[in-house]
């Protein structure tokens, strides 16, 4: 069973930081050695501690200088190609412009979504306030909506309640009001 993820931030305790540095440095050196042996790759690794102590690894002790020279030549050639090739510079500029446009688009979209979320939240709050201020239907009083005669006779006048569920005779409503 492995450990969980470690959050990558500076270790504040000096002793713990030094112990972690030593362990990770040995692990890094081991991995550099493994990749050089397994893949027949030229590897050069340079690590400076916080106190300035140098720790280095190369595939072969004499190869460190050759690997560094090769690295510098590679950088020099790459810089020359970029400086000499206007198309390469133009492509890099276009790539940067596309990246900037995407960032601006994402920011605008996020802002629009946030604004829409705020409007919807406000509408929900307003609805909740409306509902809390108006009494539920069960608590509303029976108010007369319509008075009508059944068959045109005076004794059979009836009223319909606001709920609309029942029709009561006129004499019963007068009795209930007293």
Q: What does the pLDDT read at residue 25?
A: 95
Length of the chain (residues): 178
Q: Is 173 exposed, middle or buried (0-12, 13-18, 19+ CB in 10 A)?
A: middle
Residue 37 belongs to a domain with what CATH number? 3.40.1810.10
* Total number of domains in the chain: 1
47 occurs within a structural domain: yes
Q: What does the pLDDT read at residue 2?
A: 66
Mean predicted confidence (pLDDT) in 73-79: 84
Q: pLDDT digits over 117-165, tens only? A: 999 999 999 999 988 887 665 555 544 444 444 444 444 444 444 444 4
Q: pLDDT digits over 85-119, tens only? A: 667 677 878 888 998 888 889 888 988 988 999 99
Q: What does the pLDDT read at residue 15?
A: 93
Q: Widest CA span of the chain, in angstroms?
A: 122
Tokens for 139, please give them.
Answer: 């608590």
Domain range for residue 25? 14-62
Mean predicted confidence (pLDDT) in 7-22: 92
84 occurs within a structural domain: no
Mean predicted confidence (pLDDT) in 48-70: 86
User: Which candidate, 73, 72, 44, places its Cα nearest to that of 60?
Assistant: 44
49 occurs within a structural domain: yes
Distance (Å) of CA 28 to CA 6, 9, 17, 118 = 17, 18, 16, 49
Q: What does the pLDDT read at residue 20?
A: 93
Burial readout 29-38 (b: 16 or more C-beta within 10 A, e: otherwise): eeebeeebee
């Amino acid at each position: 069973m492995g450990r969980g993820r470690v959050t990558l931030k500076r270790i504040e305790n000096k002793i713990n930081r030094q112990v972690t540095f030593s362990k990770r440095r040995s692990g890094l050196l081991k991995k550099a050695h493994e990749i050089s042996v397994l893949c027949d790759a030229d590897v050069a690794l340079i690590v400076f501690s916080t106190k300035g102590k140098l720790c280095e690894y190369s595939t072969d002790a004499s190869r460190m200088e050759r690997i560094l020279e090769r690295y510098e030549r590679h950088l020099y050639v790459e810089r020359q190609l970029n400086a000499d090739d206007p198309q390469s510079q133009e492509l890099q500029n276009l790539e940067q412009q596309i990246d900037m446009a995407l960032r601006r688009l994402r920011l605008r979209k996020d802002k629009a979504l946030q604004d829409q979320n705020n409007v919807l939240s406000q509408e929900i709050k307003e609805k909740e306030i409306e509902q809390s201020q108006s009494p539920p239907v069960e608590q509303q009083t029976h108010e007369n909506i319509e008075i009508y005669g059944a068959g045109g006779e005076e004794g059979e006048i009836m009223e319909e309640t606001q709920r609309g569920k029942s029709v009561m005779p006129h004499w019963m409503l007068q009795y209930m009001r007293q």
